[in-house]
Amino acid sequence: MAPFLAYEDKGTHASTALPLVLIHGHPFDHTMWAPQVAAFSPGRRVIVPDLRGYGASPVVPGITPLSVFAEDVAALLDDLRVPEFVLGGLSMGGQIVMECYRLFPGRVRGLLLADTFPAAETPAGRKSRNAMADRLLREGMAGYADEVLFKMVAPYARPEVAAHVRRMMTGTPAEGAAAALRGRAERPDYRELLTRIDVPTLVVVGEDDEYTPVEQAKAMHEAIPGSALHVVRAAAHLPNLEQPEEFNGALAGLLDRL
């Protein structure tokens, strides 16, 4: 049976290096990791799925909890016969990575947590996410994309990067994005989990990220034993696209530790 998720699988399967699995954020798709696939697939297997409701993966309306996203990732890696891996995610993808570590820590050999945060949603945040889900179903993605584009990337981002980010956002099915927003509104608190992480971990954040400010990244770094922190200069919420060379250098440092 074909895997449920659409995905890109690049690099040599014969490499002794651990596969690198990267989980995109909201409302994007696997192409947000294009610079990382290009940089790391010559030396190792790199797997980048489209989450359910995003990209070319099936759309399942309703509510998609983080646990369902994590179970989808595990099922894909089972299909691809990848028992152990380095796992990274950005924003919502980082929260899915935390949920994966909660559910199957024995498979995860290293962690990348980029521009994300571990706390449960506040009552105001739950109300806001559900209201946004209603709006996306009512209006579609274009207006939302225009409103948040220059918070996702910095206003000074290269035009081609901003255009790529807008294409991903407007190409996302509203039903999938809304289901994810409703699921994130009910997410658990991962702060205690962070203190139990016992694999090499890198926390990355753009210095101008308004969604997940540097202070939150520093708190995560301080909570995770032995973790490394890298603040990417001249970047907002998507430093892997805005400053790929610096981001890739930091990620290479994590992979070297393994």
Whole-model pTM: value is 0.97
The one-letter amino acid at 154? A
What is the pLDDT averaged over residues 162-182?
98
What is the pLDDT averaged over residues 127-136?
97
Beta bridge partners of 10: 46
The whole-angstrom separation of Cα 35 and Cα 108 is 23
pLDDT at residue 22, rounded to an integer: 98
pLDDT at residue 213, rounded to an integer: 97
pLDDT at residue 81, rounded to an integer: 95
Cis amide prior to 123 (ω within 30 degrees): no
Give the pLDDT band of residue 14 (cuts 50, 70, 90): confident
Cβ proximity of 21 and 63 under 8 Å: no
Q: What are φ and ψ of residue 90, in 5° steps?
A: -125, 130
pLDDT at residue 13, rounded to an integer: 82
pLDDT at residue 2, rounded to an integer: 63
What is the pLDDT averaged over residues 96-115?
98
List helix spans (H) across the chain: 34-40, 66-79, 92-103, 123-139, 142-152, 159-171, 174-185, 191-194, 214-223, 239-242, 244-257
Least confident stretch, 9-13, 115-119, 166-170, 224-228: 9-13
What is the pLDDT averaged over residues 152-178?
98
- Is the pLDDT at 1 greater than 60, yes or no? no
Residues in the chain: 258
Compute the mean pLDDT over every residue in the chain, rounded to the nearest whole number. 97
pLDDT at residue 3, rounded to an integer: 77
pLDDT at residue 149, rounded to an integer: 98
Give the pLDDT band of residue 238 (cuts 50, 70, 90): very high
Six-digit token string for 50: 């489209």
Six-digit token string for 64: 């998609």
Task: Dump the DSSP string for 219-237.
Answer: HHHHHSTT-EEEEETT--S
pLDDT at residue 12, rounded to an integer: 85
What is the pLDDT averaged over residues 251-256?
97
Q: What are φ and ψ of residue 41, in 5° steps?
A: -70, -25
pLDDT at residue 142, rounded to an integer: 97
pLDDT digits (tens, 9 = 90+) for 36-93: 999 999 999 999 999 999 999 999 999 999 999 999 999 999 999 999 999 999 999 9
Task: Give kind and range of the element (H or E) at residue 254.
Answer: helix 244-257
- Is the pLDDT at 184 greater than 80, yes or no? yes
